[in-house]
């Protein structure tokens, strides 16, 4: 079990970690005729036709806005954020979504978060850029940060930044367990781990 005693910042992925936005990535790929196994943003970066690029961004944005409108809390997520704040920990969101979609869901669900970085603010995951900016914002080092997510990109981002990675494990993401420093099957477990940690 990793030592959480020195953690001062808890950062989260958004979709599938704090919220369920019901985004259907296979459907987005079919609509765009994008290949499987490649991130949407990564594939867009390979396109040379600017009109095609703009069209792809419009389609993705439409899906993200629909997801933001439909979003609900993941089980235990709101209680976890409240509990972390009670313990004096800083919280952040690092997401590949657009700021407009993220701000919409934050308003609709009243998400209590200290800092949010979107794909307009930093290089998209799995680049470590976002986590480094989050740590710097709170005058922390990346080893003082844990990043919680449900996908391989999240774990890779944490590793590249020198932060602790936590997999929120459910559904078919069990295959990423070996890539995580810490694994929880419910967000309540993470809240309990921070409550039980040794004082810094």
Query: DSSP states of 99-154 as a string?
Result: HHHHHHHHHHHT---SEEE-TTTSPPTTSSHHHHHHHHHTT--GGGEEEEESSHHH
Separation CA 63–CA 178 (nearest Å): 31
Could you tell me if 56 and 44 are in contact, meaning their C-beta atoms sit under 8 angstroms apart? yes
Query: ω before 126 within 30° of 0 (cis)?
Result: yes
Phi, psi of 171 (to 5 degrees): 55, -130
State the pLDDT at residue 110.
Answer: 97
Instruction: Kindly report, as residue ranges, where domains of CATH 3.40.50.1000 are found in the chain.
Output: 9-20+72-196
**For the domain bounded by 9-20+72-196, which CATH number is listed?**
3.40.50.1000
State the pLDDT at residue 43.
Answer: 77
pLDDT in tens, the chain (200 residues): 788 989 999 999 999 999 998 877 777 888 888 888 777 777 788 888 788 888 888 888 888 888 889 999 999 999 999 999 999 999 999 998 999 999 999 999 999 999 999 999 999 999 999 999 999 999 999 999 999 999 999 999 999 999 999 999 999 999 999 999 999 999 999 999 998 874 54
Q: How many CB atoms lie within 10 A of CB 89?
A: 18
Cα of first residue to Cα of last residue in the chain, in angstroms, is: 16
Q: How many CB atoms lie within 10 A of CB 24?
A: 13
State the pLDDT at residue 199.
Answer: 54
**What is the Cα 120 distance to its own chain's centre?**
15
Could you tell me if 26 and 63 are in contact, meaning their C-beta atoms sit under 8 angstroms apart? no
Q: Tell me which H or E stretch contains 170.
A: none
Q: Cα angle vertex 192, ends 191, 193, to 5°? A: 90
Separation CA 46–CA 34 (nearest Å): 11
Burial 94-122 (b: 16+ CB within 10 A, else e): bbbbbeebbebbbeebebebbbbbbbebb
Q: How many CB atoms lie within 10 A of CB 163?
A: 26
């Amino acid at each position: 079990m990793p030592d959480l005693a020195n953690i001062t910042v808890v950062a989260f992925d958004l979709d599938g970690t704090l919220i369920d936005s019901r985004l259907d990535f296979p459907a987005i790929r079919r609509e765009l005729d994008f290949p499987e196994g490649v991130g949407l943003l990564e594939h867009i970066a390979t396109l040379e036709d600017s009109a095609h690029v703009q069209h792809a961004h419009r389609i993705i944005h439409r899906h993200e806005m629909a997801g933001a409108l439909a979003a609900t809390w993941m089980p235990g997520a709101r209680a976890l954020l409240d509990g972390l704040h009670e313990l004096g920990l800083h919280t952040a969101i690092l997401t590949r979504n657009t700021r407009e979609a993220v701000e919409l869901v934050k308003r609709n669900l009243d998400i209590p978060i200290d800092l949010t970085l979107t794909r307009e603010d930093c290089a998209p995951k799995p680049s470590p850029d976002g986590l480094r900016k989050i740590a710097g914002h709170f005058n922390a080092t990346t080893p003082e940060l844990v990043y919680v997510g449900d996908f391989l990109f999240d774990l890779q981002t944490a590793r590249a930044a020198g932060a602790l990675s936590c997999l929120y494990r459910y559904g078919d993401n069990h295959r990423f367990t070996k890539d995580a420093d810490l694994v929880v099957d419910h967000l309540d477990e993470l809240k309990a781990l921070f409550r039980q940690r040794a004082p810094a």
